[in-house]
Amino acid sequence: TNFELAERDKTYAKEVKKETKKVNDFMSTSYVKSNDESVNALDTFESLNFTAKIKSTDYSFGFTHNPGLSDDEIVMSSSFLDQDSTAHPYLSLADEGFVAKTKYKISDSLNFETNVFFGDVEDDGNNLGRAASALTKLAYVKDKTNIGIEFGFINEYDTLLGAKFEGALAIGTSNYTYFTGLNAKTDLTANLNLFANAYLGVTKANTATNSLITGMSDIVSHSASAGLEYNFADDKQAGFVISQPLKVSSGDVNFDVLTSGNIDKGYNYSNFSQSLSPSATQLDLQAFYKQQMSENTKLQFGALHKLNAGSVKGETDTSVLVKLRHKF
């Protein structure tokens, strides 16, 4: 039995755009808006932020549907079939909530950043629980290059790495994952952008009373991705990314199994241990191409090929989608 991490489905090829409006010399608002129709107008915003600059520090507060992506990354990732492939793997365990950020300019090329988030963990629109996270990041920024190293944690109040455990196999609340990560992006030319990231985390899970699960060891997980985006022209772009989704590399769960007994004499249980690490490492290869064919017509192509799909050795899965959008 493999421990399966939760996956979220998101709409492919949404029309998203980022806009920033300056209030004055010290304050601004920015948002990423999609063309998805919703009863709740707020749902059309992928993110919405208010920023104030005081001396060398930027303070930002807002709401996001993509905790693991910055505003620019939300726009870029909307072209991929798997929009979480380039996202922060641990922050992306949550789906929506409030975020507060700071960015302090240490020097012309060095920033110290913080990020605090509180929100919901969902699956297909069903609320699985709540999560809160905090991280600090040291970023080197020069010309068109950005390299960062970060440390942080996420506290899942009701889930474990995005998965829900209930009933006889329930787990405790407040399961902490402590993570570190490296990320980098650079513009090699005016048309070619490269990006990459790698993350490692350790999860400490709590057990629940009256559960067959009697204990869990520390759970070690990791993920990585790298890709590129090429702009042929203002109305024509293509991209490619290879990624390894978040995977449990080590960790065991101990649980009791009924072996004998009856209602008169009682029951006997035996304790067993099960590894949470899957049998194989999934790798995702995906590409996109999009072109504004005319003022009212846009073509978008996306392909995703999974090796060892579902972390099962030898399994493959391929998806191809073509979207032609025309405004009358």
CATH number at residue 212: 2.40.160
Residue 7 pLDDT grade (very low, low, confident, very high; cuts 50, 70, 90): very low
Instruction: Please tell me the distance from the alpha carbon of residue 44 to that of residue 70, in angstroms, as a whole number.
Output: 17
Q: Does residue 119 carry a pLDDT above 70? A: yes
Q: Does residue 3 carry a pLDDT above 80? A: no
10 within some domain: no
Q: How far, in Å, are 13, 73, 89, 324 from residue 68 at the CA level?
A: 18, 9, 7, 28
Domain coverage including residue 237: 16-326
As to burial, measured by CB atoms within 10 angstroms (0-12 exposed, 13-18 middle, 19+ buried), residue 302 is buried
Residue 240 pLDDT grade (very low, low, confident, very high; cuts 50, 70, 90): very high
pLDDT of residue 183: 96
Averaged confidence pLDDT in the chain = 88
Q: What is the arithmetic mean of pLDDT over 237-255?
A: 94
Instruction: Using a cut of 0.75, tell me whether the model's pTM lies above it.
Output: yes
134 within some domain: yes
Residue 79 pLDDT grade (very low, low, confident, very high; cuts 50, 70, 90): confident
> pLDDT per residue over 138-173, tens digit each?
999 998 899 999 999 999 999 999 988 888 888 988
8 within some domain: no
6 within some domain: no
In a 3-state reduction of DSSP, which class is residue 311?
helix
Instruction: Please tell me the distance from the alpha carbon of residue 207 to that of residue 229, in angstroms, as a whole number.
Output: 44
4 within some domain: no
> pLDDT per residue over 278-307, tens digit each?
989 999 999 999 998 888 888 889 999 999
Q: Which of 41-50, 92-101, 254-263 has the highest mean pLDDT?
A: 92-101
190 within some domain: yes
11 within some domain: no
22 within some domain: yes
Q: What is the arithmetic mean of pLDDT over 72-83?
A: 84
In the chain, how many domains are there? 1
